[in-house]
Structure 1
């Protein structure tokens, strides 16, 4: 072999080995829309199992999932044909149980085929704000001219736990759709900010620090509560009074109104009270006797 050809082959091999495309997926420093996420708390195999009655048997569908790396190899005691394919990140298996005897009918990779396969991360909505949702996508094996694949929708949820399981949304035509709401889906440095980028502090109920606005809302809420209470009491008074007059007093017509004489004089009492207040404020009301 000529030296120039040998050097060229050596350079090509070195470039292939050091190419960024061959770099391992860094789950701890995942980049999404220019922001960094730490998905490493999810770097372990998890399992979702759904059981369906299919007389005379029961079908059990099991999903093994690891969003950070290929699944751990199955023990050698499991027959090779019954194992999840090597380099699988998401594996689907279907088992039928009849008379307590399980029979594996299907097993295949829904994400991951070769060592070079890596997931793609894409924000649900484009923008300058830190994505609160993003998709984890990866292709799997080819089965009967259909390409199996996985789409995991990650949702930032700080009130959840990282060991919460994902929710199975659908599996149709080889596409597995999951939704995973966990704190790990929140961008690094995102310490409880809302979608608008305003800080949420424990004392302001998630507002942008405007305490005056909170005080105004608290005051209006108090008066609204008092007004609602008064109206409710008045309605209850009318209902009970009408029932009493009808059932006990045997009244009819306008006589059903409780304390009818008082309500008939009520407008005049209000007018006299208003006149009394006006005379006091304007200085027309003086002490002593008034001329008759």
Structure 2
């Protein structure tokens, strides 16, 4: 990603899946304390921006798979493969969370928590879930690495898909817009024009790990949303089932009514009861004759014609 001179920092948040050995998770099947969630509709690269000291920092996240390399951007200006979360800058690049095989990287170790089960008083009125992920690192002066961590809080908002008013992963927004979106904070639900994915804070210098916190407003974090998704899928299969049933009962009604009519009008018995009984009775023979013709055509397809060599 190219940056303007007055915005020297771009951060990139990437969420690849863990390997099976590391305890992988699927964004489509998340179960936390007997509650199931499907966050697949939030998949794909999504971005949020933070403004600080004349710098715009863009965080980009894909919760379902790792973000791929960006074309036309030098490799040294991109995060390493397997990054869960990273900081992509003009003069510095470092991953924040992910399943990293690079030297200095670690395991993602995702931990999910229902907000209702949290011991925090602030979470008591919220509905949704929270995930924390590790594995990132930042190279400091002197060659030392500092650990990085990302925490995303998915908050239930029945009026949002979770993809509304998101930033593009480019540094092209004004300082005023970024600061206005950040000032919305917890009042974002009341502002329909605020981004669904929001920057909360970046905790730097506390302990041995720096932590990025994001908030994501979406209806897919509501408890019971997965049941509605499953019901919608069942509804599509139900339509097909009803179509088969209607066709079956229509055919059965036609045969029964036709048989009754033939019995009362003509005194028919046996096969003669069925409407078009002769045709129905001949179906097996017609099918057998059709198959014989098909096989004959296939077997005769390699002949050289009606002329013999002299």
TM range (shorter): 0.3 to 0.5
TM-score by length of 2: 0.45
Q: Normalised by the size of structure 1, how large is the TM-score?
A: 0.48
The answer to which structure, 1 or 2, has the higher relative contact order (CA under 8 A, 6+ apart) is 2
* Greater C-alpha radius of gyration: 1
